Amino acid sequence: MDPNVILKAAIERQEVSAIEALMLMQQEDPIFADIFQVANEVNRRTNQGIVSFTHRSHVFYTNVSRASSKHCSYFRKKGDKEAFTLTADEVVAKIAGSPAKSDVAIQGALNPDLSIEYLVRLVSAVREQYPHIHIHAFSPTEIFFASRRARVPAREILAQLKEAGLDSMPGTGADILNDKVRKKISPDRIRTADWVDVVKTAHHMGIKTTATIVVGHVENEIHICEHIEILRNIQKETGGFVEFQIIPHVPEPAPGAEVRPRMTQQQLMKLVAVCRVFFGQIIPNIQSPWVLYGMPEAVQTLSVGANDLGGTHFHQGAYYQASSGPKYTAPEILEKAILKAQRRPKLRDSVYQDGSRKAQKTRRLAMAAR
C-alpha cells in the first residue's frame, strides 16, 4: 500500500491498522518527513499545542525481587548487600523529603516476603498523611504477583488498594507484549495475557493506568506493532489508558562505561511519530520521558507527536537509575523548555488532570500544618 494513502487516512481521522503502522515504520527518508508532519498535525488537533508534565515524587519501597530482567540492573536478590525494603513510615518520610507532595508514584519489586496487607498499609499511611495527594502505585506485575502469592483474584487486591486510597497505576512491566520476546528479556515476568487481564480489571474498577513499551533490545518492528495493537484494543474496550510512554532499553554498561540507550534519536522519533499516527486520539497522550531521553532529545519529539515530558522529581528506580541525566529538575526548567519549543506548558497529575490547583492546595495544607 502507498504510505501516502495511509497518511491521508490518518489526516482524515480514519483508523490506521497495525499492518499499515508496520509499513510506515519500514519506510525510509524522504517519506519520514511526511510522517513527521502528519504526526505533528494529529498531535496538534488532539492536544492544541499543550505539553504537560508532572511534579511527582517517586518512591521505590523495595528492590528485592524473585524475578530477573535483562533490561534492569536495579533489582536485588534477598540477602544482597544493596537489598532494601521500606516500612510504611519510611515511604511517608521519603515523600516528606521531596519537593513534590501533590503526586506520588510508588513501585517496587517482586519481593516474596511482602503481603497484601503490607501494600495496603503503604497506601493507607500515605493517604492518612497526605489526604489530597494523588497515589499512582503498583504495576500490573506487582498486583499479579501478590495475587498469586495470596491465592486471591487480582480484583480483590485492587479493591482493597482502591479503598485504602489508590488512585491510578503505572502500566510498567508491559515490556513487549509478545510471550516469545518476554521469555528472552524477562523470563520471570508475567505472560501477556496476565498483564492484559490485570490492566483491564483495573480499568473496569475505575482505576486508570498508563501504557508502556520498552524498545531497543531484541524486539523487531512486527513485535512493536503487535504491542500497540493490543494496547489500542484494550483502550477501545475500557478507555482506561491515560498515556502511552515509550521507554528506551538501556543495557547495563561495562564498568566505567557511559550509559547509552541502543536506539538512536532518529529511531525514537520515528517510533513516536508512527505511534501518534496509529493511536490518533484514542490514547491522546504520548510521553517522551526527558530523564531517559535527555531534555533536548525529548523536546525534539514534541514536533513529531509527543505531548508530555514526564515528571520533575525522581528517586532511585529501575529505569531512572540507568539514565545519565539529573534526578531532579524544577518545574520552571521544564516550562522554559516547553515554551522554547513554542508549546504551552501544563502541570498535570498522573491521570492528566490539572495539577496546578492540587499543588497549590497541598502547599497551603502543608504550611497550615507547620
Q: For 38-94, how does the pLDDT look when each residue is reduced to its tens digit (9 = 90+)?
A: 999 999 999 999 999 999 888 999 988 875 554 455 566 676 777 899 999 999 999
- Between 257 and 61, the more confident residue is 61
Confidence of residue 164 (pLDDT cuts 50, 70, 90): very high
**Residue 327: pLDDT band with limits 50, 70, 90:** low
CATH number (domain holding residue 134): 3.20.20.70
Please tell me the total count of domains within the chain.
1
pLDDT at 44: 98
Q: What is the DSSP letter of 283?
A: S
- Contacts of 123 by beta carbon, 8 Å cutoff, 6+ apart: 106, 135, 137, 161, 164, 165, 166
279: number of Cβ within 10 Å: 25
Mean pLDDT of the chain: 88
pTM metric for this prediction: 0.89
Q: Per-residue pLDDT for 216 more than 50? A: yes
Range of the domain at 24: 3-369
Residue 271, phi-psi category: left (phi > 0), alpha (psi -120 to 50), beta (remainder): alpha
In the chain, % helix, strand, coil (3-state, to 5) comes to 45, 15, 40
Say if CB 57 and CB 350 are below 8 A apart.
no
